[in-house]
Amino acid sequence: MVREKAPSGADRPRGPVPNLMLNRTAKLERWTEDRKLLSRTESDRAQDAAFVPSDPWRVTRINGEFVAGCDALAEIGPAVSVFGSARIDEDDPMYEIARRVGAGLAAAGFATITGGGPGIMEAANRGAFEAGGLSIGANIELPHEQGVNAYVTLPLNFRSFFVRTTMFVKYAEGLIIFPGGFGTLDVLFEALTLIRTGKLEAYPVVLLGSGFWQGLLDWVDQTLAAEGKIAFAGRALLTVGDDPDAAVQRMVEAANTSRLRGGPRETDRDGPTASNPTSRPESR
């Protein structure tokens, strides 16, 4: 079989050669994919309006929140999450303590992550901001108005609490928790549950304001642990105190221990870890 001689440069047709695959749409008189995407008929409007409240769209939106949060926090370096009541002002003694915590964390090289709102969150962000540290606020959509405080330098916005909580625990070297309400307790017990069930490497959880927390801790010791609802080792995950400097130092010590080991954060030796896989996790 004799092959035809390839056309020389002079013989080649000028201009683009038709792409049969791309031109198939035109030949079949179909819309291009871009035109389909950008078109907005009355039928399209009705379908879009029906789809947005659907679960498949919610899953897509939740995925987008994870992507945005991880993208924003992936390179922040060591950080500590600080929680507490939004319902206090500068006259509350805890405000100044939280402000000192934020400043201390910044001085120690940590970013401060809060919910970005008022009260304790504002105080911790303020301390970090005034000390020249990275001040992060992870805001949440609520039924009532929710704004970010003026001391946040890296604001994030979330619709879903569980996405936001993931950011709090994933990018933190530890938690410092001040007196607060249901939201504060939610993060506290969620973090403890994740640690005790081996879903999260154990790291320090410090409760500041011993007078506020004592009743809860007594119930944990005298009821939960005494009745076998939790292991006594679970209680040891918590450090309780009133000194903001000691709370910051606890974070520094834990981070240094982790870096010296060259591995993950402090491991809960009584939890269901690789070295102790038969340890029974807490019941919820």
- CA–CA gap between residue 60 and residue 163 (Å, rounded): 13
Instruction: Please list the pLDDT of the chain residue by residue as tens digits (284 residues).
Output: 555 555 555 566 667 766 666 666 667 777 777 777 777 778 878 877 887 778 888 898 899 999 999 999 999 999 999 999 999 999 999 999 999 999 999 999 999 999 999 999 999 999 999 999 999 999 988 877 578 999 999 999 998 999 999 999 999 999 999 999 999 999 999 999 999 888 988 889 999 999 999 999 999 999 998 999 888 776 778 999 999 999 999 999 998 887 665 655 444 444 433 333 334 344 43
* Whether domain 57-261 has CATH 3.40.50.450: yes
CA gap 150, 242 in Å, rounded: 26
**Predicted pLDDT at 30:** 75
- Give the integer Cα–Cα distance in Å for 167 and 269: 24
Residue-level pLDDT at 164: 93
Strands laid side by side in the 175-177 sheet: 154-158, 135-140, 111-114, 79-83, 175-177, 205-208, 238-241
Spell out the residues 6+ positions from residue 269 whose beta carbon is closer than 8 angstroms to its own: 275, 276
User: For position 35, what pLDDT does the model report?
Assistant: 75
How far CA 54 is from CA of 51, 61, 161, in Å, comes to: 5, 11, 19
Q: Where are the domains of the chain?
A: 57-261
pLDDT digits (tens, 9 = 90+) for 43-82: 878 877 887 778 888 898 899 999 999 999 999 999 999 9
Q: Tell me, yes or no, if the pTM score tops 0.85.
A: no
Q: pLDDT at position 276, please? A: 38
